Amino acid sequence: MSGIVGAVGPRAFQAVRSMHQVLTHRGDVRRCSQGKLSNDIEYAVSALGDAQFSASSGSSGLTITVSDRYHSSYAQARIVDSRVLLLDRDWIGSRPLFYGSNLTGSLCAFASERKALWSVGINRAQRVDPGTTVAIHGPRSITFGTKNTLQQSSRNHATYNESRVVHDLSELLKSVMNELADEQMGVAFSGGVDSSLLCAIMQNNANNLYFAAGLPESHDLKSAQQAARLMRIDLQVIPLDACHVEMLIPRVIETVESCNPLDLAIALPMYVLSEQTKAAGLNSILTGQGADELFAGYSRYARLAATNHKGLRDALESDVLNIARDNLERDNLTAASHSIDVILPYLDPRVVKFGLTIDSTLKLNRGINKYILRKVAEQLMPYELAYRPKKALQYGTGISTVLRKLARKNLPRDKRNSKGAVGIYLRSVAEKCGIAVAE
């Protein structure tokens, strides 16, 4: 696990030390550097855990880089020639990075988690968006830029040939998974086509541990157990109940820095899976995250396709570009709380770039969502698994149902049946426990 923190302004080093204490789950301080920018403003930057630290001399001075990097994903900060602190992320954005200034404008800082910034008085932490750069010349001098991100030219090179796409996508996924062959990891296994296909491709199944979590009679647990039997996978089931969920709610709210009901319903099973992965002595967990956005897995895409495929194509592109904000940051924070890294084969840049060139008619075809991915899967697993429908995680695990019941149980009568009852309940838990959350 890794993370990065840093600050610009008076007492920058003291601020960085305070943030270290909040992010101990991301690892010990690997290296810390401090100095002054050319405008005589103090700075300090630190690499935590497995984060990379490097220093290089150029014609105009020394450049220091700290990078939270895992495979092809990164969030990094650079002190460039003692002139400016540059923050940037890759264009998919599975490694989170936040920054902000305090109310007096005396300190600007960055960190892998908002809660670290909150600890030094920066209450309005902002996201460094994927594919962008933030240039900090001083606490009151911040500018923004956009890198060469997702190439819209993919629209001009759309691939329509089904057999060719099936072959190329299959070979690409095999190449990505082959690079993970030596890594022992936990696998979040739901029994859906996304995780099942990755497991079917893996050559080292015996080295990994497979986990599924949910309510005992939930759709996802039954689906995962059936798929595991068909694929001869030794699945470890983690049954949850209402009491366990209620106990975990404050921890998960604090972890994901949010009271959003959807975030909690998805993060809670991930929290349990990450905890189990860590208890097993592993350092990473593999998920099928990204397949829905890339290959049209959500039910709402069918409505767009019925109208026009341009609308579907635009929605898929937008969802891939926003997946860090909507999903990846939450998942990273959840796993990081147990010092676990998340492995995302479907969001490998090579898979994303190729996936965006596939014409939308091959993603949603004759009412079959993720059609092209299922065509790849049917070559490697039983047909019934390749085409098995899957519920959204928050419903499939049964967590959303439990949250609604807890809201009705704990809220006053006049609020328990309101439309936003679950959100009201979660905010009341956060307030009662004194947990800070993002606005």
Residues of the domain holding 275 = 156-433
> What pLDDT is stored for residue 219 in this prediction?
85
> What pLDDT is stored for residue 319 in this prediction?
93
| pLDDT tens per residue, range 300-312 | 888 776 667 678 8
Q: How many angstroms separate the CA atoms of 41 and 154, rounded?
A: 44
CATH number at residue 48: 3.60.20.10
- Structural domain includes residue 229: yes
| pLDDT tens per residue, range 335-360 | 999 999 999 999 999 999 999 999 98
Please, which pLDDT band fits residue 391 given cuts at 50, 70 and 90? low
Q: How many angstroms separate the CA atoms of 99 and 112, rounded?
A: 9
> What pLDDT is stored for residue 154 in this prediction?
53
> What pLDDT is stored for residue 62 in this prediction?
81
| Cβ-based neighbours of 218, under 8 Å, separated by 6 or more | 396, 397, 398
Whether the predicted pLDDT of 322 surpasses 70:
yes
Provide, rounded to the nearest whole percent, the portion of the chain with pLDDT above 70: 93
Q: How many angstroms separate the CA atoms of 106 and 120, rounded?
A: 11
CATH number at residue 313: 3.40.50.620
> Of 350, 227, 368, 224, which Cα lies nearest the Cα of 295?
368
Q: Count other Cβ atoms within 10 Å, centred on residue 75.
A: 29
H/E element holding 133? strand 132-138
- Structural domain includes residue 27: yes
Q: How many angstroms separate the CA atoms of 30 and 52, rounded?
A: 8
- Residues 31, 178 within the same domain: no
- Structural domain includes residue 228: yes
- Residues 135, 268 within the same domain: no
- Residues 311, 403 within the same domain: yes
Please, which pLDDT band fits residue 405 given cuts at 50, 70 and 90? very high
Query: Whole-number mean pLDDT of the chain?
Result: 90
Number of domains in the chain: 2
> Own/partner pairs for 319-323, CB < 8 Å, 24+ apart?
319/293, 320/92, 320/150, 320/290, 320/293, 320/294, 320/352, 320/355, 320/356, 321/130, 321/149, 321/150, 323/92, 323/93, 323/289, 323/290, 323/293, 323/347
> What pLDDT is stored for residue 324 in this prediction?
93
Q: How confident is the model over 326-339, as a mean pLDDT? A: 95
Angle between the N-to-C axes of helices 242-256 and 261-279, in degrees from 0 to 180, rounded to the nearest 10:
100
Say if strands 284-286 and 186-188 run parallel, antiparallel, or are unpaired. Answer: parallel
Q: Which comes out higher in pLDDT, residue 182 or 393?
A: 182
- Residues 247, 280 within the same domain: yes
Please, which pLDDT band fits residue 59 given cuts at 50, 70 and 90? low
Please, which pLDDT band fits residue 417 given cuts at 50, 70 and 90? confident
- Residues 211, 137 within the same domain: no
- Residues 201, 279 within the same domain: yes
- Residues 188, 219 within the same domain: yes
End-of-domain residue from the set 97, 118, 146:
146
> Of 201, 169, 198, 205, which Cα lies nearest the Cα of 184?
205
- Residues 138, 190 within the same domain: no
pTM, two decimals, is 0.91
- Residues 120, 236 within the same domain: no
Contact 133, 85 (CB under 8 A): no
End-of-domain residue from the set 96, 119, 146:
146
